[in-house]
A and B are shown apart, each in its own frame.
Chain A
């Protein structure tokens, strides 16, 4: 054999061996990973994949965008509150022709415009991250629950596997109806729930994913409508600036923005507790399914 060819063959063999040992190492790692992972999921097979890492990242990002928007608006909304208070204390309601009141009204209008501008700047980012989360969850729900499950398997997934002692695994609290919560807090809570979802059963993941998805749907529609309204409200306020009028609509919009962003203490939603009791039964019928 040609020495150079032999050397080339030897090098090739060495490369193949090296690749094989590399592949073996990967395979071994995979097997070890499976051995470690399987017991954790064995209690809730088949495992459903509703929260890929992209969703977790999207939720974190949405929380950050919401926090930035809150920070940016906090100052301007604080100023609006002070100006409104001054307007009321000066008894300007009904005295719109007074020069001082007109000046105050214009100041309020200018701050209102500032608020709309900040929202207009921040909302596209918010819309983008919310839509990303919504689309990822939509795909997961459709494939994992919509197409891979029958109603019966869905029911069994939600009930969870009953352990030998008869106790079901802990489920996450149901979160629907969080109108009283800060937007960034809400996403932070979602993120924390999803990030620690590895320790939860599939039953709570399905509920959590559905809950977040429906909320994202609503938020997405709301953002779209808000963006359309901002353009209209900006134009109206620019016109009002020349007359120094405070419209009831302005007060309403500010109130709405405050309750969405910063929550409303009075209407703070109650978070449901764990399911009452366990399913421990003394008797199990042969007819039971």
Chain B
């Protein structure tokens, strides 16, 4: 082998090593979806992915977990989601308020869309249609969380009734508020 050839091999080797290192450094973490159909195992897998730099995928993981839980609906699923969200909050992945939103939107009768600090005449009535639209969307999430995942039909029916009551009371109240103007 000539000296030129040896020199060429060395250069190629160096380039290959640099490329390999560069590719390792820029590769994003592999944020694959949980493979297990068991909720507890899936939660553990998601926790490990979230700890490995996949925080940005939180919404997708939460949806994956909801889908897995739908496959094995039972009342205990509610607790599993609550504990997962408390863990996420403790790890700093979510703020307490975000964790509450994620939980209550799916597993509580109360509507997070009805959160507000101002009175109904001044704040809710001007946005009445939007509030009701948001509530309707949240109701379908509650159907998923309460009915399809936690098998808590009573709680879901109460949420459904609450939505209808809010619709009626808001219609009357906003008519009354508008009448004073």
Q: Is the CB of B120 within 8 A of A276?
A: no
Residues of B within 8 A of A209 (CB): 172
Asked whether, in the complex, the Cβ of B75 is within 8 Å of the Cβ of A150, the reply is no
Whether the Cβ atoms of B99 and A277 lie closer than 8 Å is no
Which of A137, A154, A278 contacts B169 (CB under 8 A)? A154
Please measure, in the bound complex, the distance between the C-alpha atom of A146 and the C-alpha atom of B69, giving whole angstroms: 40
Q: How far is the CA of A234 from the CA of B92 in the complex (A)?
A: 77
Across-interface contacts of B117 in A (CB, < 8 A)? 150
A142/B103 contact (C-beta < 8 A), A150-B120, A155-B166, A279-B109 known:
no
Question: Closest B-chain residue to A149, C-beta based?
Answer: B120
Q: Is there an interface contact between B172 and A214, defined as CB atoms closer than 8 Å?
A: yes
Neighbouring B residues of A158 by C-beta, 8 Å? 162, 165-166, 169
Question: In the complex, are the beta carbons of B175 and A286 less than 8 A apart?
Answer: no
> With the chains together, A227 CA to B79 CA distance in Å?
61
- A264 to nearest B CB, angstroms? 23
Q: Kindly count the residue-residue contacts between A and B in the assembled complex, taking CB atoms under 8 Å apart.
A: 143
CA gap between A168 and B162 in the complex, in Å: 13
Name the segment of B40-48, B58-66, B147-155 touching the other chain. Answer: B147-155
Nearest CB in chain A: distance from B137 CB, A: 16
Q: How far is the CB of A165 from the nearest CB of chain B, in Å?
A: 14
Query: What's the Cα separation between A45 and B107 when bound, in Å?
Result: 26
Contact A151 B164 (CB under 8 A): no
CB 8 Å contact bits of A207-239 with B (1 = contact, 0 = none): 101110110010000000000000000000000
- What residues of chain A lie closer than 8 Å to B155, measured between beta carbons? 279, 281
Residue of chain B at shortest CB distance from A206? B169
If the complex has contacts A207-B165, A217-B175, A276-B157, are A285 and B115 also in contact, measured as CB distance less than 8 A? no
Contacting pair A210 B172 (CB below 8 A) = yes
User: Given A174-B164, A283-B75, are A150 and B173 also a contact pair (CB < 8 Å)?
Assistant: no
The interface size of chain A toward B, counting residues with CB under 8 Å, comes to: 44
Q: Which residues in B have their C-beta under 8 angstroms from that of A277?
A: 153-154, 157-158
Q: Which chain B residues border A280 with CB–CB below 8 Å?
A: 154
Provide 30 A-B residue pairs closer than 8 Å at the C-beta atoms, listed in order of the A residue. A137-B176, A142-B121, A142-B177, A145-B120, A146-B119, A150-B119, A150-B123, A151-B123, A152-B115, A154-B114, A154-B170, A155-B110, A155-B111, A155-B162, A155-B166, A156-B110, A207-B165, A210-B168, A210-B172, A277-B153, A285-B78, A285-B79, A285-B82, A285-B103, A287-B99, A287-B100, A287-B104, A288-B103, A288-B104, A289-B100
A-binding residues in B (CB < 8 A): 75-76, 78-79, 82, 85-86, 99-100, 103-104, 107-111, 114-121, 123-125, 131, 152-155, 157-158, 161-162, 164-166, 168-177, 179-180
Q: Given A146-B176, A151-B115, 11 more contacts at CB 8 Å? A: A151-B120, A154-B169, A155-B162, A210-B171, A210-B173, A213-B172, A213-B176, A277-B153, A280-B154, A281-B155, A287-B103
